[in-house]
Amino acid sequence: MGIIRLLDEHVANQIAAGEVVERPASVVKELVENAIDAGATAIDVEAEEGGLKLVRVTDNGHGIAPEDMELAFQRHATSKIRSGRDLFRIATLGFRGEALPSIAAVARVTCRSAAGDGGLGVRLDIEGSRIVRREETAASRGTDIAVRDLFFNTPARLKYMRTVQTELGHVCDAVYRQALAHPGIAFTLRHNGQVLLRTPGNGDLRQVVAAIYGTAAARAMVELAGEHPDYAISGLVALPVETRSNRNAVTIAVNGRHVRSPAILQALLDAYHTMLPVNRYPLAVVHLRMDPSLLDVNVHPSKLEVRFSKEAELRAFVEEAVRRALGRQPYIPSGPAAKTAGTSAPEQQRIRFVPQGGAGTGNGWPAAFKEGQAESYPFRKRGDNRPAQEGAIVPERVWRAALEEPAAADAAPAAGAEARSAAFPELHWVGQVHGTYIVAQNESGLFLIDQHAAHERIQYEHFYDLFGRPPEASQELLLPVTLEFPPGEAAVLRARLPVFETVGVYLEEFGASAFIVRSVPHWFPKGEEEALVREMAEWVVAERDVDLAKFREKAAILCACKAAVKANSALSAEAGQRLLERLASCRQPYTCPHGRPIVVSFSRYELDKMFKRVMS
């Protein structure tokens, strides 16, 4: 006797529900998507106890016809597609015909719906896939679905639900994503009677962002727009001053469908290249429009994953559009608001400026400059009338780089560089604080510049261009450098030696676990050759797959960091002004290669308010 049996419909629905209905947020997502497909302009979502006790979604869409009520809760029953060919041009959010039967299989569902304006509709009650009541009822146009006691008949699934707050967080996230993807729909979210979200539904995406993330975040975002023969992009992306600790603040919507796309996310992050600090992520809402035939949404029952037929082309388009949007706006953060409480000592006692002329020569560096003569910044206590210490803080080979004219690669920035940095203000040197921060001004206010970050950005763009043509710049070392590594790391390096040649570094094997550095580019920072090659080797060993573009970038960052003027280093007025001018000519003058801000501004109004010249 055979052992294979056909499962009954109820068991099959429960199994299918395991893929579609993972938690209360899944119910919210599916019901809201149905409401959007029904043409709703207002959607109310109500939840109790994180959605486990109740999820209720009410909309003003076209409703369900009385003769379709029972059929809507049958598996694979849908109004969205008619044939297999329709799967290649899906323009709706739902299409599989699995959501409603899956929900009804594991919950107690009450559905009221009216397809007309006559005030009469149909009520249908279902428990565990079994219809227990059907009757006519008073109802306005639209659909009202209440899902109670989720997983009441699958205790194993209910046992592994998280806390109420965790489930509520997922419910909120599901509604937020839909609201951001459809700013033209008015959304309301309530939990245990408390309103958590209300959007106007007027199509203004910035107002939706303000309702979810706050007005400060909404103000820090810039418009995103772009056209392509196959795609259109719109939305909002935040300036680098507004960041998050994870990727959750990135919303990607394709043809109105919220999706998770690693390719689009990576394109977005690449557009913020060197603008974000380590382990920080942007706030962004990206809307993409394309012909439905260019993507496949029939990947998983959750419909969160999609596949693009021209993914590389789309990725490049998104990256360029976001980069262009960010390049049109300056993003110099403002300084902190003035403190109302008194400080422990007057500011004049605690901050010392380096005068414009410098100390010792009247218009430059001290005549008695000696490398390494001073180890710390020369402070003087109040009342100390002795002459300021003569001597520089940093070796001449480092600070003089701020004065030198850029090399050929630096003097000819990439196409579009002028447009990208055009918004950077013209700054004039005033002085220096703590040997670390340059004080500058213009007609709009006061600016503090991190001199190391600024010089690091200048050097990074310089070295990045130079690393684009390393073979012609490579020169042999007079005294080759020997580097030793553990046997495991040496084996990895041995297989990846050609990678170093792409940046002009030539290594030779020297025994079982050692290598000789024969040649490096002649523009490597002097005295730092061994340290740079070792750090590059450590990065190559640590990476699973070495991408040549990333390796070029890493090498440029390492060289820039070694060559940049350090903190606690005095600069003359001439050197400081030259540094500001070279910073203004950078393609991206607002952040260092590690994503830290370079400039902080204080407007005239903020300064006047700090000193109580204005009181409002």
Q: Is pLDDT of 208 > 90?
A: yes
Give residue 417's pLDDT.
43
Check residue 93 and report its DSSP letter. Answer: S
Residue 60: name the closest of 41, 80, 86 by CA: 41
Architecture of domain 347-382+389-463+565-610: 2-Layer Sandwich (3.30)
* Domain locations along the chain: 9-198, 205-327, 347-382+389-463+565-610, 471-563
The neighbour count for residue 460, using CB atoms within 10 Å, is 25
Give residue 4's pLDDT.
82
Of 163-167, 254-258, 272-276, 522-526, which range is least confident?
522-526
Q: Three-state SS across 278-318?
A: CCCEECEEEEEEECHHHEECCCCCCCCCCEECCHHHHHHHH
Q: Is pLDDT of 363 > 50?
A: no
Of 120-129, 338-347, 395-404, which range is least confident?
338-347
Burial of 386 (0-12, 13-18, 19+ CB in 10 A): exposed
Side chain identity, residue 89: R
- Assess whether the region 9-198 and the region 347-382+389-463+565-610 belong to the same CATH fold: no
Share of the chain above pLDDT 70, in %: 81
Give residue 229's pLDDT.
92
Q: How far apart are CA 407 and CA 522, in angstroms?
A: 13
Residue 514: name the closest of 482, 555, 480, 545 by CA: 482
Longest dimension (CA), the chain: 107
Q: Is pLDDT of 356 > 70?
A: no
Give residue 408's pLDDT.
39
479-536 pLDDT per residue, tens: 888 888 887 788 888 888 888 888 888 898 888 888 998 888 887 888 788 888 888 8
Integer Rg of the chain from CA: 31
- The model's confidence at residue 381, banded by pLDDT at 50, 70 and 90, is very low
- pTM, 2 dp: 0.70
- Torsion from C-alpha of 77, 80, 85, 87, nearest 10 degrees: -90
CATH entry, 471-563, from 3.30.1370.100, 3.30.930.10, 3.40.50.720, 3.90.1150.10: 3.30.1370.100
Contact 64, 208 (CB under 8 A): no
Once rounded to an integer, what is the mean pLDDT over residues 363-378?
38
432-468 pLDDT per residue, tens: 998 899 999 999 899 999 999 999 999 999 888 887 7
Q: How far apart are CA 135 and CA 124, in angstroms?
A: 7
298-345 pLDDT per residue, tens: 776 667 788 898 899 999 999 999 999 988 777 777 776 544 444 444
Burial of 606 (0-12, 13-18, 19+ CB in 10 A): middle
557-616 pLDDT per residue, tens: 888 888 888 888 888 999 999 999 999 989 889 899 988 899 999 998 888 888 888 876
Once rounded to an integer, what is the mean pLDDT over residues 41-70?
94
87-126 pLDDT per residue, tens: 667 778 877 778 888 899 889 999 999 998 888 999 999 9
Give residue 533's pLDDT.
86
State the first-to-last Cα distance of the chain, in angstroms, to the nearest integer. Answer: 89
Domain 205-327 in CATH 3.30.230.10: yes
- The model's confidence at residue 255, banded by pLDDT at 50, 70 and 90, is very high
Domain 9-198 in CATH 3.30.565.10: yes
Give residue 469's pLDDT.
67
Question: What is the rounded average pLDDT for all residues in the chain?
Answer: 81
Of 24-38, 203-217, 236-250, 404-418, which range is least confident?
404-418
